Amino acid sequence: MARKREKSKAFWRWSIVAMLGAVFGLFAVVALNMPPATDPQTACRTDHRDPAHTVLLIDQSDPFSTNDFGWVEAFIDQEARQLPKYGRLTVMTPNVKNPYDPQQVFSQCSTGSADAANPFFENPRMVEDNWRMQFRDPLNAAVRTVLEDQVAPSSPLAEAIHSIFDRADFSPPGDKRRVVIISDLIQNSENFNFYRMGADFETFSTSRLAQDVRDTGGAQVVARIVPRQSYDLPMSDVKAFWSSYFSTANADFSSVN
């Protein structure tokens, strides 16, 4: 009898330990899934710890046709979906009047698309609807405004790129920072002009603007080249220039036609 009582006590002790472990485990899971405090206007974390940041630089030096709207919006939708929850997306355009101060037209954080929803804690359809309403639709509206805006007389791309990497909020690790340039990639400003000097990186290296090339710490840079019926300069030369530029800047550069 004594042995049975000891076995019974041991059983209940282990049962209690197992139940307490399950309770603490449940609390741990809930704690790990507790959302951080966010800004109600931008959905960004109030502690400024953005898990990722993508900057879209849209060049308006040549007009976008109505045929361009579709692929640009589809391309940006893909970029937006790649962002993790609370990842920031900023849309900027080069500033002709003040080349080192590109104009910001949008900067908000993703509420998380259905692609990254946790089915144990979230309803994917509700997550997707909220993402579209709070993040994707405002982004679409901002991008459409840029695409329909008037054509800029010049294109200070290098100055804008320098300023992007100088932003205080562009500080996640290198592989979480991404710059997407939607442009024909023609640098055209008073500091350096492809039309006058050519798309030659050696010539650029002797210019004052070359002093602004900074180490990006391995950030990703993607150029989405805007299709034109004809280009003013050989696109192979233009791509080679930016490949050299971003290699010097220690960036992971690629281009997409």
In a domain? residue 46: no
> Which H/E stretch holds residue 92?
strand 88-93
What DSSP string describes 174-236?
A: GGGEEEEEEE----BSSS-BHHHH-S-HHHHHTSGGGGG----SS-EEEEEEPP-SS-SS-HH
Q: How many domains does the chain have?
A: 2
222 with 125, same domain? yes
The number of angstroms, rounded, from the C-alpha of 50 to the middle of its chain's C-alpha atoms is 11
Cα three-residue angle 215-156-88, rounded to 5 degrees: 60
The pLDDT value given to residue 33: 54
In a domain? residue 45: no
Lookup: tokens for 105: 């037209």
Residue 226 belongs to domain spanning: 53-256
Mean residue pLDDT of the chain comes to 86
The pLDDT value given to residue 229: 76
Cα three-residue angle 170-210-241, rounded to 5 degrees: 90
Amino acid, single-letter form, for residue 137: D
Q: Is 124 exposed, middle or buried (0-12, 13-18, 19+ CB in 10 A)?
A: middle
In a domain? residue 179: yes
162 with 210, same domain? yes
57 with 30, same domain? no
Q: Are 105 and 142 spatial neighbours (Cβ–Cβ below 8 Å)?
A: yes
254 forms beta bridges with 222
106 with 10, same domain? no
Residues in contact with 21: Cβ distance below 8 Å, sequence separation at least 6, in sequence order: none
Cα three-residue angle 41-77-123, rounded to 5 degrees: 70
Picking from 25-39, 97-111, 185-199, which range would have the lowest pLDDT averaged per residue? Answer: 25-39
pLDDT band per the 50, 70, 90 thresholds, residue 55: very high
Q: Of residues 57 and 119, which shows the higher confidence score? A: 57
13 with 71, same domain? no
156 with 213, same domain? yes
Q: Are 214 and 249 spatial neighbours (Cβ–Cβ below 8 Å)?
A: yes
pLDDT digits (tens, 9 = 90+) for 203-232: 999 999 999 999 999 999 999 999 887 778
Spatial CA neighbour of 187 closest among 104, 245, 142, 135: 245
pLDDT of 36 higher than 70: yes
127 with 23, same domain? no
Rounded Cα distance between 76 and 176, Å, is 17
Mean pLDDT of 220-249: 92
The pLDDT value given to residue 22: 44
pTM listed for this prediction: 0.84
pLDDT digits (tens, 9 = 90+) for 105-142: 999 999 988 777 777 777 888 989 999 999 999 999 99
The pLDDT value given to residue 32: 46
The pLDDT value given to residue 215: 92
